[in-house]
């Protein structure tokens, strides 16, 4: 993966723009636990954000284990690990952030350049063994060490996903004696048979990972998981496939009895001894950089939205010096008071002039109703504001704009009686308040979504047909929220979304289809229809376990902010 376009994939419509305050810059990939994205800290340091899959997030036991693993992983500090820097096991969905490692995985490097030379394999084993030392010192057993969890940076390997793999049921392999967590081709015998997992289990996986680097394929072969696990448990590895100088070390790492396996410290010493002069400064790094390949340019941080702050029109009052007593002081006070009055008058005129200019520029300038009192059609055609009917109920179209008086003494469109007098302040104050007052949130608790109804952002909200803004659709093993015209996006931030958070999330949204696989109880969904109305859905219950049974549904508390 030499090309940045292969490493950093653009975000898709279903990807969140922000996760817990981290603005996402690109996709990095996906694994058994969830999707991985590139982001940056506030200081600009690249980080990898992993967002947990919804089916795992729905499991309370997962969240408890995930929280424990996060606490343990925070203690890991090692030169050959990708440090965990932030996480939230209680997020919706859960997520974690680690230092971003610029380099391909061992799987990608072997696929691109073929098997590694012996010196590079020794460097690999020494670096990964040192990473295991740091991980085991924190009380963690990795349990899923494999080529895709070893990244090749320019200065050596980095081990990722330590400890977290315990919680990921997607990589579980089930045997006749129980369930084991890990990837079948790289499991230890005791792990494959659901036995006790210890630090020695990671050493066996290190041997298999290094063998993959040498051979370009798993040591125990491919095929159905059951067949691979049987070979691991019941047969000896074929070390004749490996270079002769490496066989003694691999025999220690791949011993069937965990007690007979080499320790990470012994592996490091063995590799250093057999590397010899290639451990001199510069020699090994040059070799390693050739294996890792050229670095790609990391995309720049996505700027955070920043509020616009306005400066005060008038500076704060200054502290005046004390005045002398007596006649001189009285004269000075009169002069100072006159000066203050003058300053205040000039400031008021400046503010008034600026306000008038703004209103004039935005089309909100106060209209002179005295010139219009004689005829609503004066200066404009009667059809220019058609569609506004008078409150008399006659059904005839009025020449007046909405909010102006009709000839019957009723406010057009409002039904309120007027006294027939010209009132220039009413339309201007209405326009001004409309421009400055934010939309009022309207709550609709426990909205029901199924395949027979729909929900509209305008009244009536509950519809017994399928013509509303949001429809619930199931088919082909999955359910989704769909709309013909409205944009729909899932928020990945902490709970408590607002109108502003929805506006930000919807700014780059393009999808009108939201698959519910990524949605759990507590998930927040933002919707915007073409009229500008915005809705926030907070999911309460999701029942989509059997999407094709005709009984799936979703309930959500809905808040609507309607455009004026």
Mind telling me the catalytic residues?
144
> Which tokens belong to 524?
């927040």
Write b or e for each residue in 415-444: b if 16 or more Cβ atoms lie within 10 A of its Cβ, otherwise e.
Answer: eeebeeeeeeeebbeebeeeeeeeeeeeeb
> Is 549:441 a contact under the CB 8 Å cutoff?
no
Q: Could you give the 3-state DSSP secondary structure of residue 186?
A: helix
Looking only at the bridges linking them, the beta strands covering 150-153 and 553-561 are unpaired
Distance CA 519, CA 515 (A): 8
Distance CA 470, CA 529 (A): 10
Q: Which residues contact 43 (CB under 8 A, 6 or more apart)?
A: none
Phi/psi at 184 (nearest 5 deg)? -50, -45
Residue 86 has, within 13 A of its CA and on its CB side, a CA count of: 19
Q: Which residues contact 445 (CB under 8 A, 6 or more apart)?
A: 557, 558
Residue whose tokens read 């919680």: 167
> Which tokens belong to 460?
């009536």
Which alpha helices (H) appear in 198-263, and where do they start and end? 199-215, 225-234, 247-253
> Is 187:180 a contact under the CB 8 Å cutoff?
yes
Which alpha helices (H) appear in 364-471, and where do they start and end? 425-436
């Amino acid at each position: 993966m030499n090309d940045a376009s292969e490493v950093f994939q653009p975000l898709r419509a279903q990807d969140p723009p922000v996760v817990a305050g981290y603005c996402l810059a690109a996709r990095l990939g996906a694994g058994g636990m969830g999707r991985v994205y590139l982001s940056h800290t506030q200081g600009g340091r690249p980080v990898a954000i992993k967002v947990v899959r919804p089916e795992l997030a729905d499991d309370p036991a997962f969240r408890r284990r995930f929280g424990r693993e996060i606490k343990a992983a925070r203690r890991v500090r090692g030169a050959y690990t990708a440090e965990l820097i932030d996480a939230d096991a209680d997020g919706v969905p859960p997520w974690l952030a680690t230092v971003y490692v610029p380099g391909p995985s061992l799987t990608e490097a072997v696929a691109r350049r073929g098997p590694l030379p012996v010196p590079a394999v020794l460097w690999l084993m020494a670096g990964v063994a040192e990473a295991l030392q740091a991980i085991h010192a924190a009380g963690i057993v990795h349990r899923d060490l494999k080529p895709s969890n070893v990244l090749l940076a320019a200065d050596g390997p980095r081990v990722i996903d330590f400890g977290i793999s315990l919680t990921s049921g997607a990589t579980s392999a089930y045997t006749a004696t129980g369930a084991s967590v890990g990837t079948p081709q790289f499991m230890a015998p005791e792990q494959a048979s659901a036995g006790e997992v210890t630090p020695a289990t990671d050493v066996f996986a290190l041997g298999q990972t290094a063998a993959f680097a040498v051979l370009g394929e798993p040591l125990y072969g491919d095929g159905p998981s059951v067949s691979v696990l049987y070979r691991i448990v019941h047969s000896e590895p074929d070390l004749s496939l490996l270079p002769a100088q490496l066989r003694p070390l691999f025999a220690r790492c791949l011993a069937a009895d965990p007690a007979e396996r080499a320790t990470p410290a012994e592996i490091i010493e063995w590799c250093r001894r057999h590397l010899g002069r290639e451990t001199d400064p510069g020699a090994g790094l040059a070799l390693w950089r050739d294996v890792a390949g050229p670095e790609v340019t990391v995309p720049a941080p996505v700027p955070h939205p920043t509020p616009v702050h306005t400066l005060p029109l008038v500076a704060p009052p200054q502290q005046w010096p004390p005045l002398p007593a007596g006649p001189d002081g009285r004269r000075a006070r009169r002069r100072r008071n006159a000066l203050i009055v003058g300053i205040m008058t000039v400031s008021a005129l400046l503010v008034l002039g600026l306000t008038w200019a703004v209103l004039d520029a935005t089309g909100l300038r106060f209209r002179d109703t005295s010139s219009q009192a004689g005829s609503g059609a004066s200066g404009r055609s009667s059809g220019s504001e058609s569609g506004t009917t008078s409150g008399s109920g006659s059904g005839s179209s009025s020449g007046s704009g909405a909010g102006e008086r009709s000839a019957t003494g009723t406010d057009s469109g409002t039904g309120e009686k007027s006294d027939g007098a010209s009132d220039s302040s009413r339309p201007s104050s209405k326009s001004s308040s409309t421009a400055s007052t934010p939309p009022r949130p309207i709550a609709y608790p426990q909205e029901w979504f199924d395949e027979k109804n729909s929900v509209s952002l305008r009244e009536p909200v509950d519809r017994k047909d399928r013509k509303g803004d949001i429809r619930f659709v199931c088919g082909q093993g999955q359910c989704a929220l769909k709309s013909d015209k409205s944009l729909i996006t899932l928020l990945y931030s902490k709970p408590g979304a607002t109108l502003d958070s929805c506006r930000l999330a919807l700014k780059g949204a393009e999808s009108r289809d939201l698959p519910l696989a990524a949605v759990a109880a507590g998930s927040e969904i933002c919707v915007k229809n073409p009229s500008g109305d915005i809705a926030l859905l907070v999911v309460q219950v999701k029942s989509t376990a059997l999407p094709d049974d005709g009984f799936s549904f979703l309930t959500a508390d809905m808040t609507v902010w309607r455009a004026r």
